[in-house]
């Protein structure tokens, strides 16, 4: 079996690659497990050494925008494609053309190439709860469910929703087998901060634990929907393994999440790591970032995900302790 992970050198992509290599085999769309013989990491940045050192792994810097015209492309003989490559929310708002080129045009080129391969691969697309928003006449409900109408209010959310619909149509036409997973904010992300609007939901835990100050751009009582890295990976893998009847129509699944406020996160940090660590968080509202965060859903109920066996994290404290464990 050949598996491709776009954005595979990023945080979540690297974690997915490690999990696939450790498991060594994958059940695809309900079929019996098959050994993973090859894993291609498609990313413009360097693949982490421990992944690249595995003899089954090949790194590719192929550009998704070239997928439609290149003589050869990594997805040509792929059985499963996990599509994680994307420009994040904050940079999509700052640079409209970058978001459209990376998120929309890149995804369309990838789907076109998968169609041309005639292998009908399973394509798992990492979408986002940012597809939901509130507009006049279509207010965001207190709890987002499987039946909630997506009304994105950011360029990032619109790009993700358009890609979901493209994937659904390619699936309907029989070109591939698409599964979209709407991820909540994944926390705690290790490494350096990025330009995602939700980056603070990791930074206010991650930075203080290393003795650095962190800024929270929203009010302490602003809620957000989060899941741990492990739950995010579990959702992506379950999308690949679910049989057609289990998955149902090619409509995106909302991944389960827990609802937390920034104040609750800092409080949990203080209880686990001490008041001195929690005191390293500064509160400075950023109107641009806050307006994006406050427009996203903070409470999610996904009956489809539950039927697939997916559950939210136990609690916030478990997420923080898991991150501390990985730091050590």
Task: Report, as residue numbers or ranges, the catalytic residues.
Answer: 156
Q: How does DSSP assign 77-133, residue by residue? A: G-SEEEE-----HHHHHH-HHHHIIIIIIHHHHHHHHHHHHTS--EEEEEEEGGG--
Q: Is the C-alpha dihedral spanning 8, 9, 14, 18 positive or negative?
A: positive
DSSP class of 6: E
DSSP class of 255: P
Torsion angles phi and psi, residue 132, rounded to 5: -100, 145
Specify whether the CB–CB gap between 105 and 67 falls below 8 A: no
Specify whether the CB–CB gap between 151 and 134 falls below 8 A: yes
């Amino acid at each position: 079996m050949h598996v491709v992970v776009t954005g595979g050198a990023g945080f979540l992509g690297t974690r997915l690659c490690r999990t696939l290599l450790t498991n060594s085999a994958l059940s695809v769309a309900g079929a019996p497990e098959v050994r993973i013989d090859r894993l291609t990491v498609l990313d413009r940045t360097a693949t982490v050494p421990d992944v690249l050192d595995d003899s089954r792994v090949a790194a590719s810097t192929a550009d998704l925008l070239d997928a439609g015209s290149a003589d050869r492309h990594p997805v040509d003989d792929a059985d499963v494609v996990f599509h994680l490559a994307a420009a994040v929310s904050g940079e999509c708002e700052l640079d409209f053309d970058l978001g459209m080129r990376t998120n929309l045009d890149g995804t369309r080129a990838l789907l076109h190439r998968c169609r041309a391969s005639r292998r009908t691969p399973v394509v798992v697309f990492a979408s986002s709860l940012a597809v939901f928003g509130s507009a006049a006449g279509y207010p965001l409900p207190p709890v987002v469910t499987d039946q909630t109408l997506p009304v994105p209010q950011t360029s990032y959310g619109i790009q993700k929703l358009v890609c979901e619909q493209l994937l659904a149509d390619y699936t309907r036409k029989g070109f591939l087998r698409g599964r979209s997973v709407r991820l909540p904010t994944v926390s705690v992300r290790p490494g350096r901060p990025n330009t995602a609007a939700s980056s603070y939901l990791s930074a206010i835990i991650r930075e203080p634990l290393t003795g650095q100050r962190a800024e929270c751009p929203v009010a302490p009582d602003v809620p957000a929907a989060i899941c741990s890295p492990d739950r995010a990976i579990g959702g992506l893998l379950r999308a690949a393994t679910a049989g057609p009847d289990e998955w149902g129509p090619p409509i995106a699944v909302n991944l389960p999440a827990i609802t937390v406020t920034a104040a609750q996160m800092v409080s949990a940090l203080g209880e686990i790591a001490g008041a001195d660590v929690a005191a390293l968080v500064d509160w400075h509202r950023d109107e641009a970032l806050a307006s994006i965060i406050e427009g996203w859903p903070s409470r999610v109920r996904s009956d489809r995900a539950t039927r697939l066996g997916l559950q939210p994290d136990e609690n916030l404290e478990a997420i923080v302790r898991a991150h501390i464990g990985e730091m050590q």
